[in-house]
A and B are shown apart, each in its own frame.
Chain A
Amino acid sequence: MSKQPSSMCPAFGAVRNLLRMEDAMPIVISSGDGCLYGHTFVAHFYVANRPIYSPGVSSEIWAKGSAFDELRAMVHEMAEKHQPALIPICSLCVSDTVGLPFDLLPKQIGNTEIVYVPLPAYSVHTHARAKDIVVDSLVWRLPPQRKARAGVNLIGEIFPSDPIKIDEVLRKIGTHVNTTVPGPRWADYVAMVDGALNAPLHPFYSESVKRMKMKQGLPFVEGAPVGIAGTYRWITAVGHALDLDPVTVEGVACEERERVRGAMAGYPLSGLTFMVAGYEGHEFLLVRLLIEAGASVPFLSTAVNANPLARDEEKWMIEHGCTVLYGANFEDEIGALTDRSYDCVIGTTPLCAHAKELGIPSIYYTNAIATRSMVLADGATDVLALVMQTVRAKDRYERIARFFAEDETKPERTYTSWAPKIDLTSELIAQNAL
């Protein structure tokens, strides 16, 4: 039984975010070629077709300690030749264990910031945590907060056009979006020093938020403008934190709430049971949306650990019959899945594979949900439309499950993947198929 939460190699979370930064040239110090191959493979498939730079590693190189000399030479060469805004140095398991003297690297070369990002996967544990470490490492480098401040710093993984939509609403109540992190440029982070309020939109970048609280001295508003009550609550909380005109704020909050309510009315989910498993804290928003649309969500399984940012939302979920499983792993999820029958599973790759085997319509959280906006009225419709469409495919999933089940009348409700139970060799030999 694995005790680790289900997660991609945690370090990939960091590599991913850094590779998406337009003015960064990340260096990945891998643990070996197998490790680097994996990161390169998935990065080029999911993230960007951009070069990934690494010093070569081998047992001899580690033993001699020559990796650091090579790294230092690389950093200087890259900074001098290309002058990017950032050279993040992702130090994975072996290099972080061996303990390369990263302190000896310059903090800046010309206009380039050199940032050490410690990512020993064995202690980082989750993909989510690694993303947090990146933001934390970058926030650590920020200059002190400016005295004259305005606007809201959005913190979280959101759809690219979400800040524009949120900005539109915020302008109605007398403020605006100042910047969004993680963002595609170093300047997006530096801009945080101008903001008057930090808004972590999902319970995710908890360490970074801790650092921000230490460093910036700004008020915080948690949650996001998602769902009916969620939208109203978030807008009023922002208004309150920034001491904006309460009448205007109340008016706008009510107006947006009604728009969301109207949009959601077309997608009633009552009578349907969902299981949701995610790993970036984003799933809290989805569960809220599903419950507000009338669905029953008995379990939210999340790879994030219990953290203060999730406290209010968790309370709301418990009130609505949803148990939150923090730091959940695959076995926990399978266990929860077999407890009762579900109409739809939105979760991780192995969980969905299992659910499909049982004939339950399922979609992979990252591919399907994370590619959509969830905020305000448009976002609600976008996500709920997808959910409805998936639920409606139940017949198709059941048909396939029946076909592949050993007893074609009924799919088995046990975990049988990846290994057929019966040995078909004799049968195949009898038919000259082998």
Chain B
Amino acid sequence: MSQIRENIARKELSSAVVNTPIRKRVTDLDHAGGDTGAMQVFASLRDANVVLDGPVGCHVMPAVAVINYTDSIPYLQNVTCSELSETEVTLSGTLGALKAKVASATAQGRQVFIVSTPVSELIGATWTTEFAEVPGSALFFDSHSLDDDEWKSRDRALLFLWQNRDHFIVPEIRQSAASGKPRVNVIGPTYGNFNSYSDLAEMKRLIAGIGADVNLVFPFEASSFDTPRLADGDATVVMYAEYGASLAREVGKPAFFAPIGLAPTTTFLRELGAALGLAAEADAFIRAEKATTLRAWHDIWRSTHSDFFANAPIAIVAPPTYMDGLSYYLGEELGLPIVFSAYRTGPESSPNELVRETLRELSPSPMLVFGSINERMIVAQEKLPSRFLQCSFPGAVVRRATGTPYVGYAGAVWLLQCICETLFDVLFANLPTSAVPPEKARVPTKDLMREATAAVESHGKGQNSVTAWTAGAKALVELTLKRVPFFVRVSVNKKLRSEAEKIARERGVVVDVAIVEEVTARYSPNR
């Protein structure tokens, strides 16, 4: 055991800059560890074979179970593990178990990456190949899986590839067709990154739009031996702030983050254009976009759809790229009031307990909650009237069609559409809905009047007078209404009033708190 403690103490300290803090208590953890992040980078390379140095669970969980719900991939065929058992952990270390795996993969011409897992780190198993200098031999990556989160590990793994760029064997047949246009590197995405397929597609469209070529999408559309080619790019785009910036810095070309929102995209295009000597082309593209892609945006903006925005409070919980991007776009550009926002991961991330408490206490409740499965659960468990929209992992989602970007002009259009549709959904849920015919008329019209005469004469008040409400009942209705979005308050108010008064009439009493509670209880929040 002392040996184990020493191993941990010797480990390089994790950077405080990008890593998610490790808390004393965690409820519903929302990010993966370093081994998963590293695997997601290396496995993205076409010629890679990742060997997770750990027991079978360390392999099956990220590379079979989770990947199926993040990337809709049945399992990652190029990932295996050393299948550690008790013997290796307690006695022999992981070396022997790994050798067989590595040998067979290398024999098939794959570049092998050995990634440490919590168990291998705990027992201090580091791996150095006997022929480390031999090009194409297996590389060992210490994923700091006990301390680093998936994002930091991705960043480190990408840098690791660059640092080892001369280690990879370049096949002879490789040839790049030069078009003479300026070339742009795209760093990111990797597996397990929410919405990345669409974001990448939009980024490629933007780069082509201003008249540049994509040099390399790294690591998603690359092989390990392509790594040195990053040097051929004239500029670099980093898809997500969470990882890839360290690599971009080392590559040393003008670098830009992928933009979210209208103004950020415009700025991005102009700056990227300027860096590539394509300023005029960038301007022309922006002009053309206004008449094509953004036509939809401008039409929706000028429609009544956008009138609801100022009264549609929202909450956002996401990793920094999406949190900052959505906050700016939805809050600043569209004008949706952001009543709560929190970083899902990274040094400033908020614990789930805080998110839950805040969402529960907010009045009015946010109409839309952007988040992960955690927020989805909170909305359901706390019976909030909010609609949930997924903008982050964890949480099973299919995002393989490339039409749902957050990035770029197409992203601005898609998000706008998405919000409008969700608002329509809220409206639907609050309209009177009935397939059954109306109630039977109890009495003919002429009889409706006969009943009231006595009441009018004795009390000076018709029986038709507004059913009385107690002060408490009125206050409860006000409170209930405050929790529902503005544009459906009429419908909700009507429904509440008519049903509560109906009960009161039937029972011959005034509307009190109990009756209002009875009526509100009939409506589950997410009907």
Asked if B6 CB lies within 8 Å of chain A CBs, one says no
Residue on A with the closest CB to B208? A432
- Is B437 a contact partner of A49 (Cβ separation < 8 A)? no
For the complex, what is the distance from the CA of A193 to the CA of B460, rounded to whole Å?
A: 14
Asked if B11 CB lies within 8 Å of chain A CBs, one says no
Of the candidates B302, B332, B435, which one forms a contact with A51 in the assembled complex, judged by CB atoms under 8 Å apart?
B435
- Is B288 a contact partner of A427 (Cβ separation < 8 A)? yes
Asked if B266 CB lies within 8 Å of chain A CBs, one says yes
Q: Taking A367-B307, A396-B332 as contacts, is the C-beta distance between A111 and B449 under 8 angstroms? A: no
- Is A49 a contact partner of B433 (Cβ separation < 8 A)? yes
Residues of A within 8 A of B290 (CB): 403-404
Of the candidates B435, B441, B490, which one forms a contact with A85 in the assembled complex, judged by CB atoms under 8 Å apart?
B441
- Is B457 a contact partner of A148 (Cβ separation < 8 A)? yes
- Is A420 a contact partner of B441 (Cβ separation < 8 A)? no
Residues of A within 8 A of B211 (CB): 431
- Is A393 a contact partner of B266 (Cβ separation < 8 A)? no
- Is A25 a contact partner of B460 (Cβ separation < 8 A)? no
- Is B462 a contact partner of A150 (Cβ separation < 8 A)? yes
Which residues of B303-330 have CB atoms within 8 Å of chain A's CB atoms?
A: 303-304, 306-308, 310-311
For the complex, what is the distance from the CA of A39 to the CA of B152, rounded to whole Å?
A: 56
Q: Taking A160-B490, A190-B448, A396-B333 as contacts, is the C-beta distance between A82 and B437 under 8 angstroms? A: yes
Residues of A within 8 A of B448 (CB): 187, 190
Asked if B160 CB lies within 8 Å of chain A CBs, one says no
Asked if A159 CB lies within 8 Å of chain B CBs, one says yes
For the complex, what is the distance from the CA of A78 to the CA of B262, rounded to whole Å?
A: 54
A209: min CB distance to chain B, Å: 19
Q: Which of B59-67, B194-202, B424-432 contacts A (4 or more CB under 8 A)?
A: B424-432
For the complex, what is the distance from the CA of A204 to the CA of B285, rounded to whole Å?
A: 51
Residue on A with the closest CB to B281? A431
Residue on B with the closest CB to A370? B490
Which residues of A171-217 have CB atoms within 8 Å of chain B's CB atoms?
A: 176-179, 184, 186-188, 190-191, 193-195
Interface size class on chain B is 35 or more
Residues of A within 8 A of B284 (CB): 427, 430-431
For the complex, what is the distance from the CA of A112 to the CA of B444, rounded to whole Å?
A: 7
- Is A25 a contact partner of B437 (Cβ separation < 8 A)? yes
- Is B469 a contact partner of A164 (Cβ separation < 8 A)? yes
Residues of A within 8 A of B174 (CB): none
Residue on B with the closest CB to A144? B449
Residues of B within 8 A of A386 (CB): 310-311
- Is B304 a contact partner of A364 (Cβ separation < 8 A)? yes
Residues of B within 8 A of A49 (CB): 428, 431-434
Of the candidates A151, A164, A193, A368, which one forms a contact with B461 in the assembled complex, judged by CB atoms under 8 Å apart?
A151
Which residues of A105-121 have CB atoms within 8 Å of chain B's CB atoms?
A: 108, 110-113
Asked if B445 CB lies within 8 Å of chain A CBs, one says yes
- Is A431 a contact partner of B209 (Cβ separation < 8 A)? yes
For the complex, what is the distance from the CA of A431 to the CA of B487, rounded to whole Å?
A: 44
For the complex, what is the distance from the CA of A1 to the CA of B442, rounded to whole Å?
A: 52
Asked if A311 CB lies within 8 Å of chain B CBs, one says no
- Is B441 a contact partner of A83 (Cβ separation < 8 A)? yes
- Is B307 a contact partner of A148 (Cβ separation < 8 A)? no
- Is A22 a contact partner of B498 (Cβ separation < 8 A)? yes
- Is A194 a contact partner of B464 (Cβ separation < 8 A)? yes
Which residues of A142-159 have CB atoms within 8 Å of chain B's CB atoms?
A: 143, 146, 148-151, 159
Asked if B474 CB lies within 8 Å of chain A CBs, one says yes
Asked if B24 CB lies within 8 Å of chain A CBs, one says no
- Is B439 a contact partner of A22 (Cβ separation < 8 A)? yes
Residues of B within 8 A of A17 (CB): none
Q: Taking A22-B498, A148-B453, A386-B311 as contacts, is the C-beta distance between A176 and B466 under 8 angstroms? A: yes
Residues of B within 8 A of A390 (CB): 310
Asked if B176 CB lies within 8 Å of chain A CBs, one says no
Asked if A55 CB lies within 8 Å of chain B CBs, one says no
A432: min CB distance to chain B, Å: 8
For the complex, what is the distance from the CA of A363 to the CA of B301, rounded to whole Å?
A: 11
Residue on B with the closest CB to A184? B498
Asked if B249 CB lies within 8 Å of chain A CBs, one says no
Residue on A with the closest CB to B433? A49
For the complex, what is the distance from the CA of A92 to the CA of B465, rounded to whole Å?
A: 35
- Is B449 a contact partner of A190 (Cβ separation < 8 A)? yes
Residues of A within 8 A of B487 (CB): 367-368, 371
The digit string for B481-495, where 1 denotes a CB below 8 A from any CB of A, is 000001111100110
- Is A23 a contact partner of B434 (Cβ separation < 8 A)? no
Asked if B31 CB lies within 8 Å of chain A CBs, one says no
Asked if A399 CB lies within 8 Å of chain B CBs, one says yes
Q: Which of A225-233, A264-272, A352-360 contacts B (4 or more CB under 8 A)?
A: A352-360
B481: min CB distance to chain A, Å: 8
Of the candidates B332, B434, B443, which one forms a contact with A111 in the assembled complex, judged by CB atoms under 8 Å apart?
B443
B215: min CB distance to chain A, Å: 18
Asked if B292 CB lies within 8 Å of chain A CBs, one says yes
Residues of A within 8 A of B432 (CB): 20, 22, 47-50
- Is A191 a contact partner of B464 (Cβ separation < 8 A)? yes
Residues of B within 8 A of A431 (CB): 209, 211, 281, 284-285, 288
B482: min CB distance to chain A, Å: 11
Asked if B456 CB lies within 8 Å of chain A CBs, one says yes
Measured CB to CB, the residues of A under 8 A from B are 20-25, 45-51, 78, 81-86, 108, 110-113, 141, 143, 146, 148-151, 159-161, 163-164, 167, 176-179, 184, 186-188, 190-191, 193-195, 349, 352-354, 356-357, 362-364, 367-368, 370-372, 386, 389-390, 393, 396, 399-400, 403-404, 417, 420, 424, 427-428, 430-431, 433
9 further A-B pairs in the complex, CB-CB below 8 A; given A111-B444, A176-B465, A390-B310: A22-B498, A146-B452, A167-B466, A178-B462, A188-B464, A357-B302, A427-B284, A430-B284, A431-B288
Write 7 A-B pairs (CB below 8 A) sorted by A numbering: A20-B432, A50-B434, A146-B453, A151-B461, A356-B301, A400-B262, A400-B333
The 6 residue pairs across chains A and B that have the minimum distance between CB atoms: A191-B464, A194-B462, A85-B441, A353-B302, A82-B437, A111-B441
